[in-house]
Amino acid sequence: MKEAINDIILEVNNISYALREKNIIEDISFSLKKGDFYSVIGTNGSGKTTLLRCISNSIQPTKGNIRVNNKLINKYSPKILARYISVVSQHSEFLFDFSSFQVVMMGRIAYQKLLQTDSEQDLIIVEECMKKTSTWHLKDRSIKQLSGGEMQRVMIARALAQQTPLILLDEPVSSLDIHHQFDIMELLRKINHENNTTIVIILHDLTLALQYSDNILALKEGKLTYFGKTHEILTKDNIEDLFNIKAEIIDNKHIIAQKNEIL
């Protein structure tokens, strides 16, 4: 049964992106439902970050098109698009010594007029987002003094302050220890459930993808090889095909992998 158009937040139609005549991603198509949690997996160089950059409109596909709320993404102004899609990068760098509060307030720029001061509503929303992400106690702390886990929570708070229906995250837990990885994933799942926010996250840890995702997008050599429900995609055969490793799935919660023997 075809999904209703108003259930779809984003459509990707046959997009490719080439760099120096080499396709980084090729003929990728899929749609994302409102309120679902998607993990993007694949080896290094499979095109995961390029795909997210196309979806966020930071680069333009060389072929195909992308629609947000049934409107071509390149028909939105950057400011209006920022009300639909927010992005959390793997690493965030700031030239100036902003406080955490100031960084989260940057998420409200999409709703402010030029030279407008922060409104009472902006202040309320930022406080709520920082409390939801357990970063309110960091509000006066310099962004340059935060740990990796603290920084990622602040960046997620900024994305929340944008009040977008879709959040894209590019490997937000890859540099964190196991404890903070689970903290961030629990936070994202909470946001997903409470706000009905669509989450798209690039993950290298297949166990995290298995435990938290509704759906998987699996890329291989620039192509979308598998797309669907998590437990249908993360099978032993598919994992071996994607990563050339042997895998065992324990209780549908943990993936144990080992490298294939070289024959």
Model confidence band, residue 259 (pLDDT cutoffs 50, 70, 90): confident
Question: CA–CA separation, 125 vs 123, rounded Å?
Answer: 6
CA angle 167, 173, 149 (to 5 degrees): 100
Question: Which residue's entry shows tokens 């959390």?
Answer: 88
pLDDT over threshold 60, residue 26: yes
Least trusted range by pLDDT, from 28-37, 109-118, 190-199: 109-118
Question: What tokens does 263 get?
Answer: 């024959």
* pLDDT value for 117: 83
Residues 193, 51, 174, 40, CA torsion sign: positive
What domains are defined for the chain? 1-84+166-263 (3.40.50.300), 94-163 (no CATH)
What are the structure tokens assigned to 201, written together? 């996250």
Statement: residue 94 has pLDDT above 90: no
Q: Identify the sign of the CA torsion 88, 92, 94, 98.
A: positive
pLDDT average, residue stretch 103-130: 91
pLDDT in the model for residue 261: 61
Please say whether the beta carbons of 143 and 103 come within 8 A: yes
